[in-house]
Amino acid sequence: MDLANYLPVLLFILVGIGIGIAPVLLGKALAPSKPDAEKISPFECGFEAFEDARMKFDVRYYLVAILFILFDLETAFLFPWGVALREIGWFGYASMVVFLLVFVAGFVYIWKKGALDWE
């Protein structure tokens, strides 16, 4: 085989690497970098990120994450259902109504149990 046949593949790989690395280098070169105490303070999880890994961790963080995934999956089921509603007919409509009723019942249950309360 002739190695010239592999030139397009090599060029494709080099362009892909360049497209991946160029924005990172441009961001480092052009973006302002002024870290202060507010910018490097912990956020999202509520505690310092670089402490003991064996410290007590509030279970509510896990609960909120699981509930987020649950609601995200529900949305992922609604989009294809809405697109294919004409093809699936009344049976598909009824099955989605049952799905949403079960979902709302679960939502009311976790609401009544206080899983959404953040104290």
Taking Cα atoms as reference points, which of 69, 100, 107, 72 lies closest to residue 92?
100
The torsion region of residue 46 among left (phi > 0), alpha (psi -120 to 50) and beta comes to: left
Task: Please compute, for residue 53, the number of CA atoms within 13 A of its CA located in the half-sphere on the CB side.
Answer: 0
Q: What total number of domains does the chain contain?
A: 1
Domain that holds residue 67: 54-119
Instruction: Provide the pLDDT for residue 3.
Output: 78
Please report whether residue 79 resides in a domain: yes
Query: 41-99: per-residue pLDDT in tens?
Result: 766 655 555 666 676 767 777 877 888 888 888 888 888 888 888 898 899 899 989 98
- Whole-prediction pTM: 0.47
- The CATH number covering residue 86 comes to 1.20.58.1610
- The answer to whether residue 27 is domain-embedded is no
Model pLDDT, residue 23 = 94
